[in-house]
Structure formats: C-alpha cells, structure tokens
A and B are shown apart, each in its own frame.
Chain A
C-alpha cells in the first residue's frame, strides 16, 4: 500500500487536519471518504503496514491471496458503493454457489441457487420441511424488510426531548406499529428468541435446521439454544447481492478489494492515509479532542478525531481515563465483545474431494459445514464456556478461488475456514500459546480431513488465527468480529452505550464510526457512513462541499 505521507504531508507539527480517522478498516475509510468528498482535509492513520482492518487480503503464501478475516460479502450497503463510486475504483462482487452441510452418516443436505433444486434436496430429508422452507423464507424476508430502512438512520436518543430525537422515535414507533399487532408480536419474539426455538416452529429435520442456523451464531458467543441468536441470523440475511436479498457473494480479489476500492476512492477525493502509524492516545484538552499521539510520540493535530476502533480499544485502551466520564467508562467495560471465533486460511494445491458430494456437485463452490445437529453446535459452545476451543468445531468453510480467478494460480486454491467456538482466553484465564493455537488448527484440519480424505496432503500453507491473533493484528478486543455482540441489548439506541448511540463520544469532537456503533458489524459500511452524516450535520453551513450521501433505497 502506498504511503502517501512522505510526499504529501507537511511537517507533522505544522498542520492541523480537519479530521483524523483512527484505523483504515472499511468503516474508517467509508467515514473518511465521505468527509474528504465534503471538502475536509482528512488523514487516516493505520497501525499496520497494510490497510484493510478486518476487510483485508494478504498474500501469505506465494501467489495465493487470502481473505484473512471477513471472507464473504453481502451486507455492505449498495448506497455507499454508489456514493463513493466503488465499482469505478475496482470493487466487483461475485455471487456464489449454494453449499452443503455434511452429515456424519456420509450424507449431506445441500442448498442450491435454484429454488426447486433446494426444495427437492430438502424433500430427500423431509418432505414437510421442503415445503416449510417457503414460509420460513417469507417470514425472514418480512423481518429483513422491516429492518433495512433502519440501517442508515442515526438511532434516536429515547431520553431526549430534542425535536430530532422525538421525531425519530415517532418514526420508529410508526414503522413498528405499521406491522399490525400480530406481526409486531412475532417480530419481538423473533428478535429475542433462540434460533433453535425459531427453527423448531418450521422444521423437523436436524441437518436442515443445522444448516439454517449457521448465520445465527457466526461471530457471536452464544449457542443456537441461546436467546437472541435469531436476530443474529437476521443480521446476516439483510444484505443482498444486486437485489437478491439474503444472498452472499465474494469481493473479487478477496475482502481486501473492498478496502482497496475505498482507499482508492478516498485518495481520489484528496484524502491521506498513513500506514505504520499506531495511535497510542487520543489527545483531549478542556473536554475536546484535538488530535492523536502515535506510539513513537509524534503528535497529529486535528479538529476532530474519529475512531473506527471498537469502543473498548478506543476508550479503555487509547484514552487517559481522566478525560472520560467514569460512568461512561463503566458502560464501555460492560459492553459485551466476547470473542467466539477463530479462522484458518489455507493455501491448497488442489480441490479437496469431499466423499459425500457426487461428482459435479456445485456445492463445492459454496459454503460447507460439518455440524449436522443443533445439539452438536450447542455442545461446541459448551466447551467455549469453560475456556476451551471446540473439539468438534463448527465451521463455515469455502473455497473462493473456485469462483474468483484472481486469488490463486490455476490449480491452486485459497480455502477460508471460519471456526467456532474459540475463546479469547483459555481455562482459568490463561493466555493462548503457540502450542494451543496449533492444536486448535489441528482440530479444524482433522475435521475437514474426516470428510475429505487426502485433504491435508494438499495443504501448502495455513494461517491459524485465534482471538489472540485477531486482537493483536486487527485490534478487535477479545477478537470479537462485530466489535461487540449483536444482541438485542446492544442494538439501536443502546449501541454501543445508551445515550451515546449517535456516533458522538463523551468528549467534544471525538466520534465513533466502527462496528461497535449502530447498525453493527458484518462489513456493512453503514456505521462509517452514519458517523460521517452526523459529523457533517454538525458543521456550519458553507464550510463543507455538498457531496452525494443517499438515504437507504426504499423498500417497496
């Protein structure tokens, strides 16, 4: 990544930026891009020597590019892609194929892009479930339609008497009441219940339920039987690939292509990025943020500081406690951001052969899973509770290079294995060691080998990541991929802290734009966009250029 600092940045002490954004992840870059396009002089500082945050692609084996953290694309708001002209800056989204959950008896349940094929596939396992799937999909889609308009709106403060907050509360109330009493009741149940209970209302087959529960536990330190997991599923379904709601795709070139396009758009708007610039402290004077101090002592002055780091890292890690009100800090400490997942990124010299799949099955190009009952999924979670990684882990595994020709030489492949559960610290609060990490990696590789004999012989390189690596490299506290769990107690005006859901920190001109804020994680870009909207709103008329910032596309 080009370090523009040397060529364009005047002496560090001589300049005051309009805004300094901490962290060059997707949300930081989204916020920075909107501000730069509005005419602000924006600097993004990034601690790593590469940009991307958790939307990053690195070549860790010669010729093979990984999506090292996030690995699939759906939730990123299309309005942002258009506002920031990301396709012109190289972002291309590829829909992907189907998928399968492998059963221990040697069989599998697949899902196909073709609706009839999925129906017939489910019918192999349960004729009833095959026909329940339509009503299930319809109901999930209803909830998606409800929530999508809320993603790009700043949550109101319910305790405020400001006209804007009251009118936004009124909007929420109208939006909710428009459902009618029966659907409103169903919606509240859905937001708060467990995915296991929810699926039981539609399906009888365990493997089908396990497949459908996948999205409900990803990134979440909850099991499928924990209340609140149904909402997590919805969070994963509310995106789309070109209007195909609920569908997931790949960013061509890996998830780093998202931040690469954002950086390109940002630079084209006159922004500046500095890599290798870890922030030690956010500087506050007289209740107002006035810049950051880097770890090497360099001071960068700015009229506002925008943190894309999670709230814990921002306020507990990068601020002098005396600069922040104690009750606020207490609430930040209470914000749940428990790490639950690990990841294996694997370079392969061929496609693994899953014995269950018939030759020519398109499922190999989709998401693959090895957990065929909700009970196994829950048991995997049980081990997390006592500080162990799951001995029989849950995986969301895929081979993007079967769809994307850019990430590996022909014949070689990148395999992405998202794994749960993986605790941030081990039994008794012990920190991870290299040996622990390798043993975790082995449990995952062994599981794949069970279903694809010979798989291990094809492995060229493995990157194993536990919450420790995610925190150390990406900066995610405890390795929580959403910068805070997506449970109902931490959503909307409660995210990240009640009273602070409008992207403003407890200090003047200190802003939050990461996934810790509404509407949360999943590579959506919405927190960054919403934060930029709030910042621009607060600026004097005439001090900014008008730039494109669309409201959410209407749901009709």
Chain B
C-alpha cells in the first residue's frame, strides 16, 4: 500500500509473517492485536501448548510496539524514564522494566534492548510516543516508532536451542538469559537473537528486517523439523505465560494513561513489580510518589498468584475472604497442563495478599449444558512463577 490514504481498506495490518501464518491458520482463528491480525491458534491449542513445554514453538511477536531510543543521552534518559538502573546494563543486555507517571502509576511494562553505548530499543504492549517524547525534553536523544521496521519471532521450548543450532547458530550456546547476539542464519543473513520470552522456558526471540521475515520462518521450520517445531497462537501462549506468572498490560493491570476510572491506576508495588524499583539510582518518574506510598503505607492492592482447589478455571472471578467480603478479582486463570494445578493471577486488597491464610474463596460460575454451577472454591496465595524449570536458565542450554 504505497498511498497511505488507503489504509482504511485494510483496518488490520498484516505482519511480515502473515503469508505463512495464514497458510497454517487452518481454522481461521484470527484476533486483532495492536492493529494487526494475529492467530489465536493453529487448530489445536493443547498440542501447541505442549510444543512450548516439550519441543519448540514459534509465535509472531511483530505487533509488539517498538521504539528506537538513540543518542548520547540515551542512558540518562532511560534512567530518568524507567524504574530499573540502565547505566549498569551491558551492551547486548536486555532488561524487563516498567515506567510510571509522576503519581508513580505504571504506564506500561516492556523489554529494553541495548545495542551499543547509545542505541536502545523499547518493546511494549501499548503506544507511548507522546509520553516518551515529552520525557525527552532536555535530553540529547531521538525517539522513533520502529514497530513496522522490525519483525519478531519468538522461538520457545526445550528444543529451541537445538533448532537454532541446526539453523546454523551453534555459537548461541554461550548466550545467557537476558542477553542478545547477532548471528548469521544461513539463507536469512544477520538475525538479532535475544534469550528472552514470555513462557518461563528455554527460549529466544529473533528480530529481523521485515523483508527477511519469510526466509527466517522457512529456515526455522526446516531446521526444526526434527525437533518438533510448530507455530503457536495466542491461546497456547497465554497458558504458558500464566504458568510463568507474567503479567500483561491492560489485562492484569490497566495502563495509567488508559484508566478511565482513576482508581484503576496501580503503582509497581501493587502489580508485583516492586523488585524492579531502584530508589537509589537517582531521580526517575514516579520515584517520590512510590517512596511516599511505601512510607505512608497507602498502597491498596497487590498482585498475587493463586492456587485454587479443583480443576475448573476461574477467569474473571471475584475473590472473597471467607464467604462474604470481596477482596479482589482474578485477572488471568487457567488449568495448568504443566503443573496440574488450577492457577490464577489476582489483584487482592492489602493486606489479604499476605494475611488471608486459608480464608480466600473464589466464586466460579461454571456453565454446563445451559446451567450454571456456582462454586466457592478455596484458594491460597502462592509464589510466582508457577512453573520454573532449570532448563530455562541452563547455559549452555540442553538439546531438549
């Protein structure tokens, strides 16, 4: 589409991998994500989830919003913007981070990639250009939306390194979690590979120019044939990410700039991101508010993992203390095939994230043949991730 005026004819954009995804999407299970049409599944969610946990899976992450942040002040700017310390980040490092407004309310979380001394890329769920530009006043830094300039493919699962080795990147054996490297993959040419992902399993994300996307897909599929590779959709990935205990913006928390109801905004401590707040690194957006909330004990919410009795998944349920008092709601839930537990992420009013003991109950309306079965199932707060295998971090990684 060269004439940009015609965009309305195709309201959802197509990812650079679309031709391959379309061919494999045998049930035509599509859903919009950030303005792109994306696959919900490729015909069998259980088999796809099984590939994530047993072999290798590919998931198209091209719709992720990506901003290039570059310039002599990039480090200072990012340290001012985000919660974690950026100055100490090595070149080739990747950081899971988040950023807040002045009230200390989380605007989004995302992944920060450092390419060299002055060049970074920030990947996130939502759009933030005005915020990023306004925050750059006074810094020698440029910020550009590069979403459409970078195609991303997530390769996750115990055989993902075996696939990459077969694809010609044996040197990735040395790549540690949250590091990236540039490799040449046979017919694809240069590919940036980061050891990152959304599954809590061994896995990598591969970044290429859009015009190399189909070659990358084809090369991985050929290289992975003996290693059980298969494309997976959002439904299977979502199961894996809940097992990993990862949160998603505007699903498990509401981005502060999107919150229509002001009481929906959350501080990092209220969505389980307290560990990334570096109060000692120098000034950053939201620091005073976060510090004050901790000091004055005004934090209201906490985000926890729940282990719920039974085997009926609890999406959208209200959480009670005893039988009556509402103390929170479930933001994501699934019967976990990997852990054989009924797990969920939930927002709980403080102090019940800590003090509820065995008193939490989850109200589930299970629709079975046109009738609801109303259940009040006991639940308890457990540590996240629900699933955290040693193979996730092993360096060099195992072949399966």
Contacts and interface: CB of A to CB of B under 8 A. Distances in A.
B11 A116 contact: yes
A117 interface: yes
B251 interface: no
Interface string A110-123: 10101011011100
Contacts of A134: 127, 257-258
B26 interface: no
Interface string A345-368: 000000000000010111000000
Contacts of A112: 8, 11
Contacts of A180: 262
A141 interface: yes
Interface string B101-145: 000000000000000000000000001111001000000000001
Contacts of A358: 3, 5-6
Interface residues of B, number: 23
B145 A117 contact: no
Residues of B contacting A: mostly: mixed
Interface string B256-272: 01111010000000000
B9 interface: yes
Interface string B11-22: 111000000000
Interface in B1-50: 3-9, 11-13, 32, 35
Interface in A21-53: none
Given A116-B35, A138-B257, A128 B7 contact: no
Nearest to B5: A358
Interface in A173-188: 179-180, 183
Interface residues on A, range: 20 to 34
Contacts of B133: 128
B260 A142 contact: yes
A539 B398 CA distance: 85
B7 A117 contact: yes
Contacts of B7: 117, 120-121, 124
A131 B127 contact: yes
Contacts of B260: 138, 141-142, 145
A135 interface: yes
Given A117-B8, A358-B3, A132 B35 contact: no
Interface in A106-163: 110, 112, 114, 116-117, 119-121, 124, 127-128, 130-132, 134-135, 138, 141-142, 145
Contacts of A362: 8
A524 B107 CA distance: 37
A180 B105 CA distance: 15
Contacts of A135: 130, 257
Contacts of B9: 360
B130 A131 contact: yes
Interface of A: 110, 112, 114, 116-117, 119-121, 124, 127-128, 130-132, 134-135, 138, 141-142, 145, 179-180, 183, 202, 358, 360-362
Given A119-B127, A358-B3, 4 more contacts: A116-B12, A120-B35, A127-B129, A145-B260
22 contacts: A112-B8, A112-B11, A116-B12, A116-B13, A117-B7, A119-B35, A120-B4, A120-B35, A121-B8, A124-B5, A124-B7, A127-B129, A128-B129, A128-B133, A131-B129, A134-B127, A134-B257, A141-B260, A180-B262, A358-B6, A360-B9, A362-B8
Interface of B: 3-9, 11-13, 32, 35, 127-130, 133, 145, 257-260, 262
A-B pairs, 4 with minimum CB distance: A116-B35, A131-B129, A131-B127, A120-B7
